């Protein structure tokens, strides 16, 4: 799940633009937060982003959560969480309890089951 959180966070930063992504990456690096720490230090990241960008920082975290919910086919509901960090923790627990697989992994499994592994080719293909 950690890799999926990192991918969703990176997508949210890319949507903000290359300048913002570079600034956030550099600032997190200066604070000692590496890519491997994103899912475990989400409270610090949320605080850093809101300090840097205000409501825009919260939107980046919200975008990350939305992408994460989409990846695990969950509905995003932040109404019962005090902070976005709390909502991320709740999502992690739910994914683990329900043993959910991310969409990109499910697609790979579904595609592999339809692949022809016999080595033969249809006559109409070149």
pLDDT tens for 52-78 read 999 888 888 888 888 888 887 887 776
Mean pLDDT: which of 1-15, 28-42, 68-82, 108-122 is highest?
28-42
Average predicted confidence (pLDDT) for the chain = 78
Whole-prediction pTM: 0.68
The full set of domains in the chain, from first to last, is: 2-101 (1.10.1200.200)
SS (H, E, C) 26-56: HHHHHCCCCHHHCCCCHHHHHHHHHHHHCHH
The residue ranking higher by pLDDT, 6 or 80, is 6
């Amino acid at each position: 799940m950690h890799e999926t959180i990192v991918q969703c966070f990176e997508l949210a930063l890319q949507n903000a633009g290359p300048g913002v992504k570079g600034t956030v990456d550099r600032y997190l690096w200066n604070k000692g937060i590496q890519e491997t720490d994103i899912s475990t230090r989400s409270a610090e990241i949320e605080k850093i982003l809101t300090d840097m960008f205000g409501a825009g920082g919260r939107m980046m975290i919200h975008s990350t959560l939305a992408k994460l919910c989409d990846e695990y086919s969950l509905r995003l509901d932040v109404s019962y969480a005090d902070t976005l960090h709390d909502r991320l923790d709740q999502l992690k627990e739910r994914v683990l309890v329900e043993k959910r697989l991310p969409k990109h992994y499910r697609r790979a499994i579904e595609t592999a089951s339809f692949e022809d592994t016999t080595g033969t080719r249809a006559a109409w293909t070149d």
